[in-house]
Structure 1
Amino acid sequence: MSVSITKKITGYKVVTPEDATRKPSVFVDEPDRHLKLGTVPKPVAASLRWSKRPDLVEGNDSRTYLIRGPEHRFAIDIGHVQNGHAEPFEVWVKGDTAPRGIAPLAKSLSMDMRSRDRGFLQAKLESLAKTPGKPFELTLPDHRQVLAPSEVAAFAMLVDFRCRELGAYDVQGPTPVLDALMSRKEPKTTARGSDCWFVDFANPNSGDNISMFVKELVLPDGTVRPYSVWLGGKYPKSLDGLCKSLSFDLRVIEVEWVLLKLRQLLSVSEVNGEFRAQVPGHEKTAFYPSTVAYMASLIIDRLAYRGLCEIDGSPKGSSGVVAFDKAKARSVATVDTSPKGMPCGACGALAVKMDGGCATCQECGHSHCQ
């Protein structure tokens, strides 16, 4: 059999045997349409060692690091357990002056640390270490001085340093979550662009005025899948790190993975951060404990709208990532729509709060100052 060349060769590429057998994800962009995913990785096998923090009656060892950023001074505490070898499994944020977005990021990242997939944890930390912001000089525990692009980046760099120090990446094992990523880097469109979904909301107590953008793509079976979340407007820039982390989770083909992250963020609270907002998909309103909790509620609602989960945030079937208790999911994911406050003398609702120095009912609007 002969080979014929029908057009001029303008270039070539050297391909290794490994490259020849690899099937990379292919993204195709079209005007006024979503990005299309050409191939999908295999489902995720059981990965989580613990779905939540283990109950350690005797306590656990930890190491605390102080971060002196350009805007905040705070500490992070990285805990580990001995299981044949030291295993880092959680990170806490300490200090009242910590950036607002760091604590929920640590809460979400702790689940990655409790996974058997160390490759996924390492890849995410390396990505978070590039989060832009106000750069500053960071002194690592080994006394090396490096330039941290932001306070979020410094947080990730210290967690990564401790993981390396404990040898967390030394034990080679399967990487089911990392292998299930639709794309390790966020896919980008050409100048022709693509569609995305966005929503606007404000938290008057914290001063946030946010536009949240959720990018979406089309899977080979026609399913439209959110794969990235970003913010615009007025908000603490440390939330960019949380968005970067959640975008990583959204690109895991098994939606159950990101649902686990989002469900735990529904309970994130902030001092003076509670606010009333419209319940996603409903006309009624409810109180939310923080901006982050409302963001998680909005993303869950979008995933449910796309048919990827139930309205309460529980998955439609299990992928084997971790045992999922639907009854518990409902108790956590269901928003408490009952107002919280003193009883109102006019309507009887427990909804009286101080507003501009006046006790005002959040339900009927009755105020003694009127």
Structure 2
Amino acid sequence: MRLRHPSGTPLHLGYCTNVHPAEDVAGIVAQLDAYAVPIRDRLDAGVLGLGLWLAAPAAAELAAGPAALRRLRGELDARGLEVVTLNGFPYAAFQDPVVKHAVYRPDWTTRERLAYTLDLARVLAGLLPGDAARGSISTLPLGWRDPWDAAMADAAARHLDELAAGLAEVEAATGRTIRVGFEPEPGCVVETTEQAVAHLSRADTERLGVCLDLAHLACAWEQPAAALKALAAAGLPIVKVQLSAALETAEPQALREYAEPRFLHQTRTRAGEQADDLDEALARGLPGTWRVHYHVPLHAAPAAPLATTAPVLRDALAELVGGPQPLCDHFDVETYTWNVLPAALRPGTPAELAAGIAGELDFARTQMLEAGVTA
């Protein structure tokens, strides 16, 4: 969907397709009909934005095959769908039965991560609508924090320099600007705004910046206004915003039904206690109020004593789009955990999942409208 900031800047709002399991081009096209088209129809949207997730083999196939890329663009256009952003965080197998730490591999110390991201840039240049100002790609925040030493940091820095050079080559060849945003996440080398500034501000900030995930920001117990001020002071652009909400509670035993085997659910307390997964946090009995890296539906508050960090999302949107100029123009709803929610909350059919995602997008659109943008 497209919204408009009072300054006249178009704002793109869509949903991330990493909630779906397909990893080849045929499967991705099938997902458009199963989910994206029904979502667009429910929202009565002329055009629906997708934050497309392409596993590495599909990205390589499309980047190497202009005919295949044109076919995918045609399939999107025919269904009233558009792509201005790609999710390049998971490399592959993101909806496998067990993902956990595997999602952080390969990391930015490797050539594989660089090659994958540049493949995505070539693909996105071919998918961007003609009137889009630029494209964006989100990626992992360098790597998991352990192990991470000086040699790994140097290797990652070299690859970021090569990434910026490669993006410049894509722009020279296609005329399309693609930027990459590194997504701070609990447990990673870059978890907080302070760490983002420390690790990324020396990069080419014309093409590289931050992907701000609002559930992650909340789990770090950061205030949106202060975080955005720090990023601006360091000259780090916000390339993309992921609209997401985490779980929060002062009664952690209510979280037991959310412990599950597929994804990591890093847990942080207001007092600064940390655990790398919800099972660990429950076993240790961390004191105080918890925030848990568990992306939950934006529009459906869980039963008390559980709550979500949706207030952080609202505060962030007020900062991001409430000023004279927007601080970002790409907004992606990213709730990839629909299929691991507690059984009573989990969609049982594709139609139910499409209805849930449509509800989230409607919620996100409403929050942005209340922050001052127009439809």
TM-score in same-fold range (> 0.5): no
- TM-score of the aligned structures, taking structure 2 as reference length: 0.30
Higher relative contact order (CA 8 A, sep 6+): 2
- TM-score of the aligned structures, taking structure 1 as reference length: 0.30
Structure whose alpha-carbon radius of gyration is higher: 1
